[in-house]
Amino acid sequence: MERPTGVTILAVLAFIGTGLLTLAALAVLLGGAIVANMAARPQFAMLAGIGGAVVGVVLFGMAVLYVALGIGLWKLLNWARILLIVLCGLGVVFNALGLLSALVHFHPVLVFWRAIIVAVDLWIALYLLKPHVKQAFGTTGF
């Protein structure tokens, strides 16, 4: 079966996300090294260097996850569809909590932004659960 257009778009977005995460990781690693070299106090230099390295490695790990997700979606592998549904579900939960926090503290722009993110995550998850999309991935179950 042919790959649905929405799945192609999601795969391309995953590849774009991989590139952006890789650039962010390199920037954080470089920034941590620059701050560590410029710090007047050795304790701050060590903290900046270690912090930059940890955040950079986490961002590289996320880039690896995104490239695997993009390849899986491109090749219509069902595990990639399920992984993206799970990630969208987590995004809905955490952004809904952020939305509630923004409502309590009355930040209208943040409320609007979080609502958009929740809506997009829900749309992606529901799209991946549609029968024609599941059929493209070669499954009729979850």
Of 90, 91, 84, whose CA–CA distance to 68 is shortest?
84
The CA distance from 39 to 20, in Å, is 28
What is the sign of the dihedral through the CA atoms of 91, 97, 103 and 105?
negative
Which SS3 state, helix, strand or coil, does residue 47 take?
A: helix
pTM of the model: 0.88
Amino acid in the structure at residue 92 = V
What was the pLDDT predicted at 140?
Answer: 67
What was the pLDDT predicted at 41?
Answer: 84
Residue spans of the domains in the chain: they are: 1-75, 77-142
pLDDT tens-digit profile, the chain (142 residues): 689 999 999 999 999 999 999 999 999 999 988 988 888 888 888 888 899 999 999 999 999 999 999 999 999 999 999 999 999 999 999 999 999 999 999 899 999 999 999 999 999 999 999 999 999 998 766 6
Number of Cβ atoms within 10 Å of the Cβ of 107: 13
Q: Work out the end-to-end distance of the chain between its first and last CA atoms, rounded to an integer number of angstroms.
A: 18
